[in-house]
Amino acid sequence: MPTVLDGTAIAAAIKQEVAEDVRALAAHGVRPGLAAVLVGNVPASEIYVRSKVQTCADLGLYSDLITPPGTVTTEEMLDVVAALNARDDIDGILIQLPLPKQVETKVLLDAVLPEKDVDGFHPVNAGRLQAGRPALAPCTPAGVIEILKRSHIPISGQHAVIVGRSDIVGKPAAMLLLNENATVTICHSKTRDLGAMTRQADILVAAIGRPGFITADMVKPGTTIIDVGINRLTTREEVDRFFAGDARREATFLRRGSTLVGDVHPKAFEIAGAYTPVPGGVGPLTIAMLMANTVRAAKMRRGL
């Protein structure tokens, strides 16, 4: 039987450590602060941001929620960011994506001070990560490393194959794994014979955004699968395609009208040595690492 890598438990342990760090910083008169910028009324973004703000409160961090209207311009957003860059009580700035069409996302992300860039999206932080210097790393890939380490899965010398090369997940995951001495292969939509690549993986990271895309025939038996994908299934046909005969999924679908599947087909997990489930795998780590990054930014900025 494959080992299920319990992201919820690992995230809880990280959050507990963050809360301890926050208490220790209080002795120095420091309270790490996160500013969350939520533009307009995008329901999914609202849910994510509220959960981030709530987690700050749970762990003792200060947070400030800033909510510009959906009609905001790039210039107005640049003013918001400049004000947050200048505030001493703010250690981390989070701009919830996606932004409305009229706002130039990259211009804005580049305006965040690298030392407050707790999402790790600024080119300076991407460069530092690549150059092997201390950096604020993007939260989701940083969470992938935490799952592997805390589950005692060896990384050094292992062949890690990553499917997906986004700036947010795939590329930084590759850099972090390389920094941990894995041999890294990065695959993408132009990769020829993807299965031949993925079957070589000791650690297979799927960050594609296509439900159940990695099938059992693409996986080497005994491999560790990290499924970053989060895809919502809303039709009976989709649910049956992945979860036919699974009573728990059936119940979730009937209750909520949807259920989640990763980028890896559930049948592929059966031949893995270990895997992260969806939900409850990589997902919970993202917020935990955001909190950890905010505390780290608070310490780094004060030279602690």
Cβ count within 10 A of residue 17: 15
Sheet holding 159-163, edge to edge: 3-4, 274-275, 224-227, 203-206, 159-163, 183-187
**Least gap, CB of 255 to ligand NDP (angstroms):** 22
| Candidates 15, 52, 116, 171; catalytic one | 52
Q: Which residue lies nearer to ligand NDP by CB, 108 or 144?
A: 144
Non-local (6+) Cβ contacts of 304 within 8 A are 25, 28, 30, 298
Q: Output 85 or 166, the one with its CB closest to ligand NDP.
A: 166
* Residue with tokens 């400030």, as numbered in its chain: 64
CB of 27 to ligand NDP, least distance (A): 32
Instruction: Say which of 96, 171, 202, 227 is annotated catalytic.
Output: 96
* Min CB(233)–ligand NDP separation in Å: 12
3-class SS of residue 160: strand
Gap between the terminal Cα atoms of the chain:
45
- Least separation in angstroms between residue 17's CB and ligand NDP is 19
| Residue whose CB is less far from ligand NDP, 69 or 123 | 123
- The smaller minimum CB distance to ligand NDP, of residues 72 and 269, is found at 269
Asked about 119 being catalytic, the answer comes back as: yes
CA distance 31 to 89: 8
Give the residue nearest to ligand NDP (CB): 166
Angle (CA) 146 216 201, round 5° = 45
Q: Choosing from 21, 91, 117, 119, which is the catalytic residue?
A: 119
Query: Can you give the binding site for ligand NDP, defined by CB under 6 A?
Result: 140, 163-166, 168-170, 187-191, 194, 207-210, 228-231, 263, 282-283, 286
| Residue 96 appears among annotated catalytic residues | yes
117 a catalytic residue: no
Burial, 78: exposed, middle or buried (Cβ in 10 Å; 0-12, 13-18, 19+)? middle
Among residues 229 and 266, whose Cβ is nearest to ligand NDP? 229
In whole angstroms, how close is the CB of 30 to ligand NDP at the nearest point?
28
For the annotated catalytic residues, the residue numbers are 52, 96, 119
